[in-house]
Amino acid sequence: MVAALVTLLTLSYAFGDNRFFRVALYLFIGVSAGYAGAVAIEDIVLPYLIFPLVDILAGITSIDLVELSIRASLSLLLFTKLFRRTARLGNPTTAFLTGVGAALAVSGAVQGTVLPQIASASRTFNVAAFRFALQSGYYGESMQIILEGVLLLLGTISTLAYFHFGGKSHGAHGPSRSPIIEKLAWIGSIFIAITMASLFSGVLQAALGALIERISFLLEFSFQLLAGL
């Protein structure tokens, strides 16, 4: 019954923003924040701060006191952000967290996106498969391999050219990119549009799947409720 009620509250957004939808939104935000806070306490605060302090009070001296003092100091400084007068004291902690988060995001993007994309672009032309198809007499498949390689390479180069923002000055007309870059950027915009359309269709398909599942759940719940009555 609770699941059906929350589902109806969420679907009420189809009639516009209303109080019922806001109740479901507040519940979702509250549950998400509560879960994130519980995970942070269980996986970070307790094992890295509270339990080491308890071990020190219990006489266990195998813990690095310098590292523990740094953790405790940064944690205490973070609590000063709760008050306006002492909020500046928590800036070092927030700056440290922001720097570490940015470094992890950049390194993750480089290792998870940039380097694999470079490796994929370097393997655009499957020479081994092309040679095998050509030796076996499959000329159609060999041409298909070449066309796929040319298309992938063109898509990669033109998409990178689309995000090229450099230009040379041409007097009164101001800076502008070279004609080659402009043409490649125009081709890259086509590839970007195709990619965005594909992503949008995937998101729409997932949303429709979730909607169908919820409607099916409501129908099944209604039948069970009527059967019980």
**At residue 143, does pLDDT exceed 80?**
no
Spatial separation of the C-alpha atoms in residues 188 and 144, rounded to whole Å: 22
At 124, the pLDDT band (50, 70, 90 cuts) reads: low
Spatial separation of the C-alpha atoms in residues 157 and 206, rounded to whole Å: 31
Average pLDDT over all residues of the chain: 85
pLDDT at 50: 85
**At residue 125, does pLDDT exceed 70?**
no
What is the distance between the terminal CA atoms of the chain, rounded to a whole angstrom?
A: 14
Spatial separation of the C-alpha atoms in residues 157 and 150, rounded to whole Å: 11
Give the total number of structural domains in the chain.
1
Give the per-residue SS3 of 121-139. HHCCCCHHHHHHHHHCCCH
Spatial separation of the C-alpha atoms in residues 149 and 168, rounded to whole Å: 32
Q: What are phi and psi for residue 168, nearest 5 degrees?
A: -100, 150
**At residue 25, does pLDDT exceed 90?**
yes
Q: How many residues does the chain have?
A: 229
Enclosing domain of residue 147: 123-229
At 177, the pLDDT band (50, 70, 90 cuts) reads: confident
Identify whether 64 is part of a domain.
no
**At residue 174, does pLDDT exceed 90?**
no
pLDDT at 54: 85
* H or E segment and range at residue 207: helix 179-228
Identify whether 166 is part of a domain.
yes
Q: Tell me the average pLDDT across 188-196.
A: 93
Q: Tell me the average pLDDT across 14-27.
A: 91
Identify whether 134 is part of a domain.
yes
- Give the range among 15-19, 50-54, 86-90, 142-146 with minimum mean pLDDT: 142-146
**What's the pTM value of the predicted model, to 2 decimals?**
0.59
pLDDT at 100: 93
User: How many helices (DSSP H) and strands (DSSP E) are in the chain?
Assistant: 9, 2
Identify whether 150 is part of a domain.
yes
Radius of gyration in angstroms for the set of CA atoms belonging to the chain, rounded to a whole number: 29
**At residue 146, does pLDDT exceed 90?**
no
- What percentage of the chain carries pLDDT values higher than 70? 89
Per residue in 94-117, pLDDT (tens digit) is 999 999 999 999 999 889 888 887
23 or 150: which leads in pLDDT: 23
Cβ burial of 189 (10 Å; 0-12, 13-18, 19+) is middle
Q: What sign does the CA torsion over 49, 55, 56, 61 have?
A: negative
Contact at 8 Å (CB) between 58 and 81?
no
142 or 49: which leads in pLDDT: 49
Cβ burial of 157 (10 Å; 0-12, 13-18, 19+) is middle
